[in-house]
Structure 1
Amino acid sequence: MIETFAALLFAHAFTDFAFQSSDMAAKKAGREWAALAAHIAILAGLTLLVGLQLSWALIGVLALVALSHLVIDIAKSFAPREQALAAFLGDQAAHLAATALIASLFPTFWANSLWANLSWLPGALTLATGLLITTRAGGFAVGMLMAQYENDAPPEGLPQGGRMIGLLERGLIFLLVLAGQPSGIGFLIAAKSILRFEAVSKDGANPKSEYVIIGTLASFGWALAASYATLALLGQLPPLGILPVPD
């Protein structure tokens, strides 16, 4: 079952965070059926790819994955714009629960696939999923959190610079946690604090310094949670042989 869950989670994560453009997301939010259909088609294609097999289970899994994802996405589209973060987190929690339920209903889905003899593949899929959720999904979550503060403390600097810094720092945290070196995160925090010190120290009562602190803590918190969740899932899968296995 756990291999099936890892494979289905990979399909979901890459559908939502790698193969969905901002334009498609906006059209989905407006309940445009062409965008919803394209999104579900990508999900079905990835699910078919990771679970390719000659069995009736494939049809059942594809149907449940597509239907549950469609229903959850439509429900999310009714959320008020000012509750974007809550809607995003609720949406992803619902997708996670649906994925776990489908995996429990079809526990041998992965074992019957053409890739079942590749014992390392579920771990590799989990690594890719974890990295994507840590970096890309984390960027969306932190961005939604910080949107409410942007008018009071508008960011300065390079266009998209803050977003790129966030991606890189969450990626580094992911690598450090999975390499068994979480202490290195302290050096990352110290380095960022030093680099940011001059900018925020000149602000005085200006809320920009608080804006930076909130964004940094949110980014680090998301990265740590996603990284340790990835490590926990990897501990339930056949070892890759390149990472320390959690006790």
Structure 2
Amino acid sequence: MTAFLSLLLAHIIADFYWQPTAWVNDKRRKSFRSRYLYVHVGVVMILSYVFLANWSNPFPALLIGIAHGLIDISKLHFDKKGTAAWFAADQALHLLSIALTAVILTSHLNVEIENLKLWLQTPRTLALASGVLLCLSPVSFLVGILTRPWREELEKLAPNADDNLANAGRWIGMAERILIFVFVMMAQFSAIGFLIAAKSLLRYNDKGVGTEIPAAYISKKSEYILVGTLLSYTFAIGVALVSKILY
């Protein structure tokens, strides 16, 4: 675990703190031909070597640096727009390379695999994973189905009202439900009240809405958002409480 955390810290510093924006932009333009790519890999190697503090064995740091460079080159080749999906995949591969290197260093591969299997099969892990996953897409679909009549009514009132960011409500809802799930699992129920209060400050505001939008639409849109929010919170709290019982 110490080796993994040391390599993880080196990765975080090298990737997010000691990599100037100019280096990133140059890498995007020139890919593997960018000299900053190799400077960055060198920084990863040096930090990994220093944090591991295994002065007689530089090979793990070299291995991490090579893997880091190959992953970055692959991302630069396939990810032309800097999407969130490729960012997540890139970081997941970096974490995987760090974990494999840490396991090789400790020479406990079989033990670690067995421990991982045991951890994944515990009721606590299964309850947490099921609860988190339920709070994401399933509850989103359920809330969407329950609020569909009001959404259709709003569309009839203002068919051309383009006042929502694409999928923004879905992502906001998932983020809120995950926060609520964490708060319930930690028995921090007062934090849920703080979240509700913060959300109330950002309720649908009619200021700046064009005159072509009917007044009834504005009022009903506020009620629609409130209903959706309360349903989302209720389901999240319910799922979290069940998960807490099974935990």
Q: TM-score w.r.t. structure 1 length?
A: 0.49
- Identify the structure with bigger relative contact order (alpha carbons < 8 Å, sequence gap 6+): 1
* Structure with the larger helix share: 2
Bigger-Rg structure (1/2): 2
